[in-house]
Each structure stands twice: as structure tokens, then as C-alpha cells.
Amino acid sequence: MGDVLGRPDPAPVTYARGVERELLVTGIGGQGIQLAASVMARAALAEGREVQLFGSYGGMMRGGATEATLVVADGPVEAPPTVGSAWSAIVMHHDFSRPTFARLAPGSVVFVNSTVFEGSFDRNPYVVVDVPATDLAVGLGNIMTASMVMLGAYSAVTALAGLDSLVEAVAGALPPYRAQHARLNQDALRAGYEAAPAVRVHAWVPEGAGEMVVA
């Protein structure tokens, strides 16, 4: 059948069981952080994973801190409600990002919105993936799709959930009054997937491959 980009389906792979992957998504209000997390959660559920999702955000509609924590597993989620150490993160803005970095472990995969992120951090402990998500979103015609662009890139690099599943999840994640934006968000996912750097850090480890596969 192939995927939504017309490429043939990959050969089937047998994956190790009992794996949990944590994703922290952080940014500022108005960047679509909670929508991106909801789309990933729905996509992972559609692929048969177990999911735990919770979000937090400040009182401001725009510009305040917003974060979502997602745990995706092959079996019942055992992580506590407050995740102290995460496998990966999406950092959409430098503001309020310090607590996110404090929750990352050595070897964590960190996606940084290179268009707007200012300042520096110690990259050595992590696998850092820079994506100009806001620039790509502007090119699509709506800056508010930046988090969906980043989610597409995240899918390409980690395969936590596949692109097809993410695209299908968009309509259900959008509130009814925003249903007309489904196609735009789906296009943003595809654009991010296509623009992803070549690094691959597979979330679901093939049996016998060890803890993590980096290509």
C-alpha cells in the first residue's frame, strides 16, 4: 500500500516488548503544544500502544508557559503521574525550557525549534535534533502549525508513532470550531516529516538490537 507520501511499506520488524517512551513537549501559549501532544497520543493509541497524557499551562492564552507530558508503552504504563526522567523532548521555545532540560537523562533525544530558540545549553549529554519548525510553518501559511511541523520531524526520527497515524489523528484532536484547519495541520505534519534530519533514534527497539538503535 505504501504511506501517505507514496513510499512502499517497510518490511515487518519484530519489536521488543515492555518498552516505555516519555515525551515532554514544551513551549509558550499559542504554539499548539497541547494539540501536538493530543495528536501523538491518539496516533499511538491507534497503533496499539498504551498512553498516558497530561498537560499544564499558565493563565495566559498567549505567551505563558505550556507543557505536555506523554508516556507511550507497549504494555500497561508504569510511569508515575509526574515523570522525573524522560526519553525525549520537543522544545519549541527557550522560555520556560529549563525545567524540561532538568528532566532529561543522558542520551535523551531533544528536538529544538531552531527558528526561535535563543541562548545555549549543554548539548553533549543528548542527541539534539535542530528543526526550523517556525520557518517551515510560515512557509505553509500559518505560524501556529509549528508544533505540528516539529511533530512530523519527531515521527521521522523516532517512529514513536507513524506519519499515517498522526495524519489520521488530526481530525479527532481538533475541537469542532477548528475542524476547517485539519488539512493545514496534516500538511504541517508531512512538511516536518520530509524536512527531518537524517539522524534516526528508534523508539521501538527491534528484538536483539539493544537499548536503542541510532542510525
pLDDT in tens, 126-140: 999 999 999 999 999
Cell numbers for 201, please give them.
533514534
**Strand 86-91 vs strand 20-28: parallel, antiparallel, or unpaired?**
parallel
Give residue 49's pLDDT.
96
Residue 119 has pLDDT above 80, yes or no: yes
Q: The domain 20-214 is classified under which CATH number: 3.40.920.10, 3.40.1350.10, 3.40.50.720, 3.30.590.20? A: 3.40.920.10
∠51-22-173 over CA atoms, to 5°? 45
∠49-55-61 over CA atoms, to 5°? 140
Residue-wise pLDDT tens digits, 151-191: 999 999 999 999 999 999 999 999 899 899 999 999 999 99
Residue 16 has pLDDT above 90, yes or no: no
Give residue 115's pLDDT.
96
Long-range contacts of 3-8 (CB under 8 A, 24+ apart): 3/162, 3/163, 3/164, 4/163, 4/164, 4/167, 4/190, 5/163, 5/190, 5/193, 5/194
Residue-wise pLDDT tens digits, 44-96: 999 999 999 988 776 555 567 789 999 999 988 886 767 889 999 999 999 88
Q: How far apart are CA 53 and CA 160, in angstroms?
A: 14
User: pTM for this one?
Assistant: 0.86
Q: Domain ranges in the chain?
A: 20-214
Residue among 123, 126, 107, 27 at smallest CA distance from 67 = 27
Amino acid at 32: G
DSSP string for residues in 55-88: EEE-S-SSSSEEEEEEEEESSS--S-SS-SSEEE
